[in-house]
A and B are shown apart, each in its own frame.
Chain A
């Protein structure tokens, strides 16, 4: 109805400040939701496109499902397939440059590609810009892309030093390629034999590429190739950079969550505002009913008004979100261009994303406006003619309070069960229960806090307390909005402190040797170049060394999932280091590892695949399917976050062809001269620049510091959670002031000073935030306990630690909210003109 549309618009315009405050919450939520959802797909798309371009001319690409190495002889079978014109094998390996390398300052990782010089040019397009391509006579020669040559200052004839299994290897640059098509890392092309030597993978390749004879059927050839290659091979180009993709997706989820939370608070704000609007306009609404507006029409008026705000907020939020995405893209573009050769373009606005943002934005408004609209429809026409009587309000609140209390009790019952789905249900019950109980608790809690305040500031404290208790519903809804924000802070803090303690516990138990020799990247599968067995052997022979054990790495597949396989020495590993077992007998487990095809699986793996001690797992290895028996569930520090299985190094060599060491753990004899031993080991490590020798204490401290650093970003995000809560408070306080304009006029008329009025509003604000903080801490503690339970269930074993830091931050943020939210409303109240305030309606 057009008349209601016009009417709604007028009402909104009549209360500009309130309209702005209410709308802002929606703007904020929609902007975050929409902006991040437009930004991340852009990054993903750019990333994928440049990855697809990387396959160049190759029509056929085969790799092992695990993307690990396999014997080059497999190539021959593919070559013989009818319709195949040419095939070539290549060896791809990510290489992290150790920080000690001069090159590492410009480039920290590159991809070493071993190719057969005589055939690769017929299969892939590698246009040479300067010099020549590799020839079959070359041994340690390399061609590099132009971008890399510019970054490292390489010219034809200069030398590129790379870490290798035997220490280092020098490559002479013979050619420079036009460009590097692969994102993320620079490709360095070297002869296959040299790559195999550098990586200690004799006779191994990771990729078969080929071209078809003219007219051959691609699908048929692919099928035939896969059947001769046997199980464990795939035809698609391997998706590189999976880790980056995964963390981008994680970011997407995190921001979506944040946007939804901001919108939930927005819904609370709308609810509060319109609840006030209905009370304030009882007169008008009654009159409309009296002159013939139906109940539906009156409800429609309130809904129209809230939807207008929703539409405005959503519209502005979409614009703001696009701006946000554009800005962030502009910020990351130079980095992406330099390090990943990705042109990111502009934010992508997809229809589903647009629809999601609009639906959620409008939905939040509608949800917030619905209850007030219903109560508006209940306004009797006679109320236009009579003064407002506060009536059945309290009874309804008490009934809701009882329901809330029952929900809370149920939630507590679900607590000791320790089961994830039940705990999730319990959390939901807890939050809903708290929201329902809140209005009933407002009066007694306000009295409690009020007593503290009035002890400090007599009269004003009591007035502020009464004012809050007068509108328990509004105070409760505001407190609920604050609760959401602060609960997230406490919960995150609780989770962080538990993860922190969990991780440190892992370090102390699984990596506790006197000395550690670490690879360039701490994540084992992160592109490290291993060292041959002679490296560890040399260290073993140093006098004063009590024991040495090493970690090796392979990749297997289980079903369609890739799986990290860590090779340990079942005899020395438990003596020097160890795993944190959650199931199985350690001694027996390690003995079984030495005896047979046995596995110890880590917590995450066992949770993801529901594997127990005694299960038989069929792993897809480069040698085909192999059955392994699970003998224990245990985790170590390095792999606590990744699904990992541990097996003996003998089995790793036999089934996965991996023999290089990635991590060396050393214990020094008690009586030996520590520094002398260390010096001798240092001598050996110097020949292997990919590795760094560390004291355990130094290592632990550096890990602790890294953890703290990555967590500091989380604290920033946590503080962002408080922003929507601030809006909710300013909104409520402004409403309180506007509604009491006449009263404030009376107060001033009978002699209150401006300062006293200001103080009343400030105290109200502090009381409100104290309430919200109290609720927030309760809900946050619950939530953090729930999250930690969830982590335990999903395999990351960590005890629950009480988030003291989170509590302090929540209280500080709550106090800050209380002080800042009052600034504007208090000033507004103090500046009211007495005469016009007395006339205010």
Chain B
């Protein structure tokens, strides 16, 4: 059953002559537990798609269904609560609060949701440990490497046990080794912990970890590919060629 479903999703920025169509009638779906990557050149509308699914922005036309629920019908407060409980977000620039430690950053969504501080802390420690940061709990973001910061951000995205994890170019700001680590981590999130993952990236090596790839160009889905476990590492080159062809 599909966790995420979009129907004729359209987003237009601006009005009249200066109007820019970022997304045009995109209809797609992501199954529960699936790891889907959206690829495309910059400006193709990948991030816009992600923002609409996350409820960060409202579509001009069409709708997003999350577990059958129409996001258009939710108030700002309801969307906020939805992001807090059911969606985990990972950004390119980590977006950690600079004055809080790793542990506090991870515990933040739970605290925002009114979870008791000691429970929030316990869960945060659990996730940070799972992501190999047990020895960095009390470090501030500026004391961590880029890869470590992104792992903290991923722990923050997972701590509220969301159904859906949305990642917007999560490796865009990392060197290739750290990027590979993060991509592998996203793979585990889907396979080992049963979350649904939607990744936006223009890097074929990262996208190659997904189960399925959607190719986006000029706001429209132009192609898709399904990858099988064993063949993945060899697919990167082929994906790269397909990207070039878009």
Residues of A within 8 A of B (CB): 1-3, 6-7, 10-11, 13-14, 283-284, 287-295, 297, 380-382, 384-385
* Distance, CA A777 to CA B107, complexed state (A): 54
CB < 8 Å neighbour of B89 from A284, A290, A297: A290
Shortest C-beta distance, A714 to chain B (Å), equals: 47
Asked whether, in the complex, the Cβ of B80 is within 8 Å of the Cβ of A289, the reply is yes
Asked whether, in the complex, the Cβ of B111 is within 8 Å of the Cβ of A3, the reply is yes
| Chain B residues whose C-beta falls within 8 Å of the C-beta of A288 in the assembled complex | 97, 108, 112
B63: interface (CB < 8 Å): no
| Chain B residues whose C-beta falls within 8 Å of the C-beta of A14 in the assembled complex | 98-99
Asked whether, in the complex, the Cβ of B83 is within 8 Å of the Cβ of A291, the reply is yes
Asked whether, in the complex, the Cβ of B108 is within 8 Å of the Cβ of A385, the reply is no
* Distance, CA A14 to CA B77, complexed state (A): 30
B209: interface (CB < 8 Å): no
CB < 8 Å neighbour of A11 from B89, B99, B111: B99
* Distance, CA A289 to CA B160, complexed state (A): 15
**Interface SS of chain A: helix, strand, loop or mixed?**
helix
Shortest C-beta distance, A12 to chain B (Å), equals: 9
* Distance, CA A293 to CA B160, complexed state (A): 13
Shortest C-beta distance, A829 to chain B (Å), equals: 22
B45: interface (CB < 8 Å): no
Asked whether, in the complex, the Cβ of B99 is within 8 Å of the Cβ of A7, the reply is yes
* Distance, CA A294 to CA B78, complexed state (A): 9
* Distance, CA A821 to CA B91, complexed state (A): 41
Asked whether, in the complex, the Cβ of B80 is within 8 Å of the Cβ of A382, the reply is no
* Distance, CA A11 to CA B117, complexed state (A): 20
| Chain A residues whose C-beta falls within 8 Å of the C-beta of B113 in the assembled complex | 292
| Chain B residues whose C-beta falls within 8 Å of the C-beta of A13 in the assembled complex | 99
Select from chain B the residue with minimum beta-carbon distance to A297. B112
B170: interface (CB < 8 Å): no
* Distance, CA A27 to CA B109, complexed state (A): 36
Asked whether, in the complex, the Cβ of B57 is within 8 Å of the Cβ of A382, the reply is yes
Q: Mark B102-131, 1 if CB is under 8 A from A, else 0.
A: 001001110111000100000000000000
B51: interface (CB < 8 Å): yes
Select from chain A the residue with minimum beta-carbon distance to B91. A385
CB < 8 Å neighbour of A382 from B51, B84, B100: B51
| Chain A residues whose C-beta falls within 8 Å of the C-beta of B160 in the assembled complex | 292
* Distance, CA A11 to CA B99, complexed state (A): 6
* Distance, CA A288 to CA B95, complexed state (A): 9
Asked whether, in the complex, the Cβ of A284 is within 8 Å of the Cβ of B51, the reply is no
Interface centre among A2, A290, A380 (most CB of B within 10 A): A290
CB < 8 Å neighbour of A292 from B84, B100, B117: B84
CB < 8 Å neighbour of A284 from B47, B76, B98: B98
* Distance, CA A287 to CA B168, complexed state (A): 13
Asked whether, in the complex, the Cβ of B95 is within 8 Å of the Cβ of A384, the reply is yes
Asked whether, in the complex, the Cβ of B168 is within 8 Å of the Cβ of A291, the reply is no
Shortest C-beta distance, A309 to chain B (Å), equals: 16
B81: interface (CB < 8 Å): yes
Asked whether, in the complex, the Cβ of A295 is within 8 Å of the Cβ of B76, the reply is yes
CB < 8 Å neighbour of B81 from A6, A292, A380: A292
| Chain A residues whose C-beta falls within 8 Å of the C-beta of B54 in the assembled complex | 290
B195: interface (CB < 8 Å): no
Asked whether, in the complex, the Cβ of B97 is within 8 Å of the Cβ of A382, the reply is no
Asked whether, in the complex, the Cβ of A292 is within 8 Å of the Cβ of B80, the reply is yes
Q: Mark B84-98, 1 if CB is under 8 A from A, else 0.
A: 110001010001011
Asked whether, in the complex, the Cβ of A3 is within 8 Å of the Cβ of B108, the reply is yes
Q: A382-B51, A382-B56 are in contact. Are A292 and B95 (CB under 8 A)?
A: no
B156: interface (CB < 8 Å): yes
Select from chain A the residue with minimum beta-carbon distance to B92. A385
Asked whether, in the complex, the Cβ of A3 is within 8 Å of the Cβ of B112, the reply is yes
| Chain A residues whose C-beta falls within 8 Å of the C-beta of B168 in the assembled complex | 385
Shortest C-beta distance, A742 to chain B (Å), equals: 15
Asked whether, in the complex, the Cβ of B84 is within 8 Å of the Cβ of A291, the reply is yes
| Chain B residues whose C-beta falls within 8 Å of the C-beta of A3 in the assembled complex | 107-108, 111-112, 117
* Distance, CA A290 to CA B117, complexed state (A): 21
25 A–B contacts from the bound complex (CB under 8 Å): A2-B111, A3-B111, A10-B100, A11-B99, A14-B99, A283-B95, A284-B95, A284-B97, A284-B98, A287-B91, A288-B97, A288-B108, A289-B80, A290-B56, A290-B95, A291-B83, A291-B156, A292-B85, A292-B109, A294-B80, A295-B76, A297-B112, A384-B95, A385-B47, A385-B91
Asked whether, in the complex, the Cβ of B56 is within 8 Å of the Cβ of A2, the reply is no
Q: A382-B51, A382-B56 are in contact. Are A287 and B80 (CB under 8 A)?
A: no
* Distance, CA A11 to CA B140, complexed state (A): 13
Shortest C-beta distance, B155 to chain A (Å), equals: 12
Shortest C-beta distance, A380 to chain B (Å), equals: 8
Interface centre among B98, B99, B104 (most CB of A within 10 A): B99
Shortest C-beta distance, A606 to chain B (Å), equals: 64
Q: Mark B43-84, 1 if CB is under 8 A from A, else 0.
A: 000010001001011000000000000000000110011011
Given A292-B80, A292-B83, A382-B51, 12 extra CB contacts under 8 A: A6-B104, A10-B100, A284-B95, A284-B98, A288-B108, A291-B109, A291-B112, A292-B85, A293-B84, A294-B80, A295-B80, A385-B56
Which residues, 153 to 199 on B, are CB-close (under 8 Å) to A?
A: 156, 160, 168
Select from chain A the residue with minimum beta-carbon distance to B168. A385
| Chain B residues whose C-beta falls within 8 Å of the C-beta of A11 in the assembled complex | 99
Asked whether, in the complex, the Cβ of B99 is within 8 Å of the Cβ of A293, the reply is no
Q: A291-B84, A292-B80, A292-B112 are in contact. Are A384 and B99 (CB under 8 A)?
A: no
| Chain B residues whose C-beta falls within 8 Å of the C-beta of A384 in the assembled complex | 91, 95
Asked whether, in the complex, the Cβ of B117 is within 8 Å of the Cβ of A293, the reply is no
| Chain A residues whose C-beta falls within 8 Å of the C-beta of B91 in the assembled complex | 287, 384-385
| Chain B residues whose C-beta falls within 8 Å of the C-beta of A294 in the assembled complex | 77, 80-81
Shortest C-beta distance, B8 to chain A (Å), equals: 22
Shortest C-beta distance, A749 to chain B (Å), equals: 22
CB < 8 Å neighbour of A291 from B77, B100, B108, B117: B108
Select from chain B the residue with minimum beta-carbon distance to A14. B99
* Distance, CA A210 to CA B84, complexed state (A): 83
Interface centre among A1, A284, A380 (most CB of B within 10 A): A284
* Distance, CA A256 to CA B77, complexed state (A): 44
| Chain B residues whose C-beta falls within 8 Å of the C-beta of A1 in the assembled complex | 111
Select from chain B the residue with minimum beta-carbon distance to A293. B112
| Chain B residues whose C-beta falls within 8 Å of the C-beta of A6 in the assembled complex | 104
Shortest C-beta distance, B160 to chain A (Å), equals: 8
CB < 8 Å neighbour of B83 from A10, A290, A295, A380: A290
Pairs of residues from A and B, 3 with the lowest C-beta to C-beta distance, nearest first: A292-B84, A10-B99, A3-B111
* Distance, CA A297 to CA B84, complexed state (A): 13
Select from chain B the residue with minimum beta-carbon distance to A292. B84
Select from chain B the residue with minimum beta-carbon distance to A283. B95
| Chain A residues whose C-beta falls within 8 Å of the C-beta of B47 in the assembled complex | 385
| Chain A residues whose C-beta falls within 8 Å of the C-beta of B97 in the assembled complex | 7, 284, 287-288
| Chain B residues whose C-beta falls within 8 Å of the C-beta of A297 in the assembled complex | 112
Select from chain B the residue with minimum beta-carbon distance to A15. B99
| Chain A residues whose C-beta falls within 8 Å of the C-beta of B89 in the assembled complex | 290-291
Which residues, 208 to 227 on B, are CB-close (under 8 Å) to A?
A: none
Asked whether, in the complex, the Cβ of B56 is within 8 Å of the Cβ of A7, the reply is no
Select from chain A the residue with minimum beta-carbon distance to B80. A294
